[in-house]
Amino acid sequence: MTIEVRAATKDDAEALSGILNAIINAGGTTAHQSPFDASRMHRHYIAPDNLVCCSVAEIDGRIAGFQTLMWPDEMGQPFPKGWAVIASFVSLDAAGQGIGRALFAATKASALAASVHTIDATIRADNLGGLAYYQSLGFTDYDILRNVPLRDGNRVDRIRKKLAIT
């Protein structure tokens, strides 16, 4: 099995929506609770104004995951200068195959080129797979956001991890 990583394009939006929507439907690992269509995926992950990079991983020509790195949103939680925020999603049927590591290699290279020096990963506390993934890359805990409300009214803690890359 060979994992090919490349920059995401608008043409990938439907496939990426399918991956994320399956994760949303499974529940328990993403803060997203509303499904994505191709237009929303393009705006939110592939080409937002604050984009550093968005990469997709393909196995045998099929997109199996994606990862986006963005500068912090001015309306959201403030971050120090030089920090960026990461989001990672792997198809449910492709987890554990090295896709996340392959994506992160590309993301890290883009981050260094964009002068990012620290990456934030904020993960639901009940997303054990996501927490383990970022820990395996060297991310360390630096904060906990307690009882963050989800759209459905449930509350969940979020663990904030960081990785210095300079």
Give the tens place of pLDDT for each residue, 18-43. Answer: 999 999 988 777 878 789 999 999 99
Average pLDDT, integer, range 4-20 = 97
User: Which pLDDT score is estimated for 76?
Assistant: 66
Residue 79: domain span? 3-164
Q: What is the pLDDT of residues 52-110, one digit of tens each?
A: 999 999 999 999 999 999 999 866 667 989 999 999 999 999 888 899 999 999 999 99
Which residues make Cβ contacts (< 8 Å) with residue 52, sequence separation at least 6? 69, 70, 71, 84, 110, 111, 114, 116
Residue with tokens 């990012």: 116
Domain count, the chain: 1
Whether the pLDDT of residue 154 is over 80: the answer is yes
- CATH code for the domain of 140: 3.40.630.30
